[in-house]
Amino acid sequence: MGPGRDVAVFGAYGHTGRFVVAELQARGYTPLLLGRDHDRLLALARTGPGLQARPASIDDPATLDRALRGAAAVINCAGPFATTAAPLVEAALRAGLPYVDVAAEIEANLDTFAHFAQRARDLGAVVVPAMAFFGGLGDLLVTTALGDWTAADEAHIAYGLSDWHPTGGTLASGTVSAQRRGGRRVRYTGGRLEYHEDVLPTLDWPFPAPLGPQRVIAEFSMADIVTVPSHLAVPQVRTYLTAKAAADLSGSGTPAPVAVDERGRSAQTFVVDVLVRSGGAERRAVVSGQDIYASSAPLAVEAVDRILTGRTRTTGVASAGAMFDAPDFLRALSPHLSLHVPPRDARSAPGLTLGGPHRRDG
């Protein structure tokens, strides 16, 4: 393999990490397998020719520096990202490498923007946090829906998941986030983050086919409330999650995902419906696909490919929609996601009055 094709994957043996490794191989890259568990790294390295196990610890910068030698970029797939992101970003900056992660933790992504924006910009480095299903995909969709609008009054991102069988990493990251915010909830309204203890309302969201209308939990905040406001003038960003998926996520007996096809994907399906409004006009963008964890892999790998081939729009710490041409990026994911962008500049649909007759508190 030629120079510049080796990509370090920290947490390569994790659930999402394995999808990322497979996607890199499918795209002609050579994954360098990084992580804290030597035995699990070796086991993964034995599954394919040319795979290198490179043990490294976030608590030992020297091991990270050694593990990143010869790499062209690094993808961090190991949560909780409140613990792993900063050491990996530091190591990437020392090595002069672009950094991408799949963090869904709101606070961890805020930390990356707050702690590394100036230094990464000064170095001309590229750092893209939340380059995953939650955070990155929503940001790309909102950016695409906005089109030639320079601002909007509100953005709504509705996640229609058929179910949610969370991984251990998802549960661990959620626990860390809950601890960091003292059990409170968080939303983005009035142009700022607001921590609160309000009961989350429910409402009926008119998802398009194949999902159809579903009860959703409103203000079920995801990483989009960090990524979207980081570069777009939208003072209210709300995310929603189907009530069934929310119940699965919080249920103590919900099993981990189970593979149902040759790619290792679960049977979970999803529709992500984005609505942006400005005055009386609205615009939408919708994607559908299978398995939120598997779908994070092409998002992260496409980001790395665009960075390494010079198809970026800025430097420093930036979200997906700021770093890349959002519509073109989404079109490139057509083998993995089905994208639909309805005609623009329709008037607001009377059947969806958020906070109005479809809303149900409790």
The domain containing residue 246 runs over which residues? Answer: 133-292+335-360
306 shares a domain with 222: no
List strand residue ranges (DSSP E) for 223-268, in order.
237-242
Q: What is the rounded distance in angstroms from the CA atom of residue 326 to the CA atom of residue 10?
A: 26
pTM score of the predicted model: 0.94
Q: In total, how many domains does the chain have?
A: 2
Q: Does residue 87 form part of some domain?
A: yes
- DSSP-assigned letters across all residues of 32-54: EEEES-HHHHHHHHTTSTT-EEE
254 shares a domain with 234: yes
Helices (H), 57-167: 61-67, 81-95, 106-123, 138-146
Q: Residue 233 maps to which CATH number?
A: 3.30.360
In single-letter form, the type of residue at position 105 comes to E
In sequence order, which residues have a C-beta less than 8 Å from that of residue 87 and are 6 or more positions away?
58, 59, 61, 64
314 shares a domain with 188: no
Q: Does residue 146 form part of some domain?
A: yes
126 shares a domain with 143: no
In sequence order, which residues have a C-beta less than 8 Å from that of residue 252 and are 6 or more positions away?
none
223 shares a domain with 303: no
Q: Does residue 17 form part of some domain?
A: yes
Could you report the per-residue pLDDT of 60-82, keeping only the tens digit for each? 999 999 999 999 999 999 999 99
150 shares a domain with 44: no
169 shares a domain with 115: no
Select from 129, 161, 166, 147 the least CA-distant residue to 239. 161
In single-letter form, the type of residue at position 30 comes to T
54 shares a domain with 164: no
Degrees to nearest 5, angle at CA 328 with 213 and 28:
110
143 shares a domain with 86: no
221 shares a domain with 109: no
Q: pLDDT 10s digit of each residue in the chain, 362 long? A: 344 799 999 999 999 999 999 999 999 999 999 999 999 999 999 998 889 999 999 999 999 999 999 999 999 999 999 999 999 999 999 999 999 999 999 999 999 999 999 999 999 999 999 999 999 999 999 999 999 999 999 999 999 999 999 999 999 999 999 999 998 999 999 999 999 999 999 999 999 988 999 999 999 999 999 999 999 999 999 999 999 999 999 998 899 999 999 999 999 999 999 999 999 999 999 999 999 999 999 999 999 999 999 999 999 999 999 999 999 999 999 999 999 999 875 444 434 444 432 444 33
Q: Does residue 241 form part of some domain?
A: yes
Please check whether residue 73 is in contact with residue 97, taking contact to mean a CB–CB distance below 8 angstroms: yes
